[in-house]
Amino acid sequence: MKSSAYLDALIKKISKLPGIGPKSASRIAFHILGMHRDDVEGLARAMIELKRNTYTCSVCGGISDGGTCSICQDASRDRGLICVVEDAKDVLTIEGTGEFHGLFHVINGLISPLDGIGPDELNIGTLVAKCGQGSVREVILALNPSVEGDATSLYIARLIGSSGVTVTRIAHGLPVGADLEFADTATIIKSLEGRVKI
Amino acid sequence: MKSSAYLDALIKKISKLPGIGPKSASRIAFHILGMHRDDVEGLARAMIELKRNTYTCSVCGGISDGGTCSICQDASRDRGLICVVEDAKDVLTIEGTGEFHGLFHVINGLISPLDGIGPDELNIGTLVAKCGQGSVREVILALNPSVEGDATSLYIARLIGSSGVTVTRIAHGLPVGADLEFADTATIIKSLEGRVKI
């Protein structure tokens, strides 16, 4: 039995969010109950505004607040360098490092014949068109090191290769701080293949 | 640099919720972005409604949708048995077991002289008044097994003891599934003290 139907309703909705189980959901709901009313309304409004006011960037395919996202609009970024990522979340991850100053291109998925996703379902055509304009110097493929990621990287590399653009792939190997003893075989093989001269 | 100010604003707000770090916050924000607009509005509304429409139950001190919570209103519950808990969240935890059919009493904290919380700051007076009415048979103290919890339990037990009500405390000992080898000394001592005949 629940003492409050409103509390019960919110806990159920929160527990549907990714990575949140029923215990965390109840903890968050009680936290919200204890928050100032303005802060609760601010959080609720932020959710609705995100949903209402964001669009897909017409240039890179990422998230934007208007037609073109602020990264694509930024004149200080290197327009000759494009980093290709699987989804808009990856843009945030790479931007979080503060070390990449080129542009992004979001392909919105990976080639996966088993799931019925072929190259035509992905945002690859516009990338090829960009590369054909002559201003792009290098395309960095930053897709996940999985069968689908590797297949998609290879596919894109072949498509763009003829346009004279350098195509690179992010390094796969041991993560910083990892222990060789506990690394899986596939990662060790990748780290040997990708060895660099020091 | 953020591609969307709305996305950035929501991630910041979500990461302030308990148990959610920046990575989970960004994962949840992207999940919300991918949700149906009606579902996002439902989630936002549930938060605001919880904050607007819930009150403190005038009988037990827990959460209610009106003056008296649905547990206190429920005629099928054993009115002779009261379970004393620290906060409203604990009501949910004990109700979750489905094994308790009495009423609750939320004292809203624990006696903690170091934090300046004495018995007068807690909802204990109304519990004593309830016990003086003659209808209460047993009071179960379900406070956390900490110094503050034990002190508060003792304090309440002494206050009520003279009214002829049986005062009990939930058992402290090894959790189900735990390994004796890895249990801390205090828990082992409690489990020895609280041994029962089989």
Instruction: Report strand pairing: A78-85 vs A138-141.
Output: parallel
Q: Is the pLDDT of residue B198 over 80?
A: no
Domain annotation covers residue B41: yes
* 3-class secondary structure, B77: coil
- For B48, the closest of A40, A65, A71 (CB atoms) is A40
Q: Is the pLDDT of residue B54 over 90?
A: yes
Return the residue of B nearest to A57 by Cα: B3
Q: How many domains is chain A partitioned into structurally?
A: 2
- State whether B87 and B133 are in the same domain: yes
- State whether B88 and B22 are in the same domain: no
Domain annotation covers residue B195: no
Q: Is the pLDDT of residue A173 over 90?
A: no
Q: Is the pLDDT of residue B6 over 90?
A: yes
CATH of the domain at A125: 3.40.1360.10
- State whether B44 and B83 are in the same domain: no
Domain annotation covers residue B113: yes
Q: What ipTM goes with this model?
A: 0.83
- For A65, the closest of B4, B24, B27 (CB atoms) is B4
Which of B41, B50, B103 to mutate against chain A (most A CBs within 10 Å)? B50
pLDDT tens profile B23-43: 999 999 999 999 999 999 999
Beta-carbon separation of A1 and B40 below 8 A: no
Q: What does the pLDDT average to over A45-69?
A: 93
Please give the Cα distance from B78 to A198 (Å, whole number).
Answer: 76
Return the residue of A nearest to B59 by Cα: A3
Residue A132 burial by Cβ neighbours in a 10 Å radius (0-12, 13-18, 19+): middle
- State whether A103 and A156 are in the same domain: yes
Domain annotation covers residue A59: no
Domain annotation covers residue B135: yes
- State whether A37 and A103 are in the same domain: no
Beta-carbon separation of A28 and B44 below 8 A: no
Which of A12, A23, A41, A51 to mutate against chain B (most B CBs within 10 Å)? A51
pLDDT at site B1: 66
Of A18, A38, A53, the residue that ends a domain is: A53
Residue pair B138/B82 in contact by the 8 Å Cβ criterion? yes
Of B54-58, B154-158, B169-173, B194-198, where does mean pLDDT reach its minimum?
Answer: B194-198
pLDDT at site A1: 66
- State whether B96 and B164 are in the same domain: yes
Q: B62 touching A, CB under 8 A?
A: yes
- For B47, the closest of A40, A50, A87 (CB atoms) is A40
Q: Is the pLDDT of residue A168 over 70?
A: yes
B102 lies in which domain range? 77-169
pLDDT at site A91: 93
Beta-carbon separation of A17 and B28 below 8 A: yes
**Residue at A98: amino acid letter:** G
A vs B, Cβ pairs < 8 A, gives 174
Share of chain A above pLDDT 70, in %: 99
CATH of the domain at B40: 1.10.8.420
Predicted TM-score of the model (pTM): 0.82
* 3-class secondary structure, B114: helix
pLDDT tens profile B90-114: 999 899 888 899 999 999 999 999 9
Chain A contacts of B95, Cβ < 8 Å? 1-3
Structure tokens at A55: 């669009």
Please give the Cα distance from B195 to A35 (Å, whole number).
Answer: 42
Chain B contacts of A95, Cβ < 8 Å? 1-3
Q: A9 touching B, CB under 8 A?
A: yes
Beta-carbon separation of A35 and B54 below 8 A: no
- State whether A90 and A48 are in the same domain: no
pLDDT tens profile A91-132: 998 998 888 999 999 999 999 999 999 999 999 999 999 998
The CA–CA distances, whole Å, from A100 to A3, A28, B68 equal: 51, 35, 58
Contact residues, B window 106-135, toward A, CB-based 8 Å cutoff = none
- State whether A114 and A157 are in the same domain: yes
Domain annotation covers residue B196: no
Please give the Cα distance from A44 to B63 (Å, whole number).
Answer: 21
- State whether B47 and B84 are in the same domain: no
- State whether A102 and A22 are in the same domain: no
| d(CA A188, nearest CA chain B) in Å | 27
- State the average pLDDT for chain B: 91
- State the average pLDDT for chain A: 91
Residue pair B194/B174 in contact by the 8 Å Cβ criterion? no
- State whether A96 and A17 are in the same domain: no
Q: Is the pLDDT of residue B155 over 90?
A: yes
Using pLDDT thresholds of 50, 70 and 90, give the confidence band for residue A3. confident
pLDDT at site B179: 84
Using pLDDT thresholds of 50, 70 and 90, give the confidence band for residue A184. confident
Q: A36 touching B, CB under 8 A?
A: no
Instruction: Count the neighbouring beta carbons within 10 Å of the beta carbon of residue A189.
Output: 12
Domain annotation covers residue B61: no
Domain annotation covers residue B89: yes
- State whether A48 and A84 are in the same domain: no
Helices (H), chain B: 5-14, 22-34, 37-53, 70-73, 88-95, 125-131, 147-161, 185-193
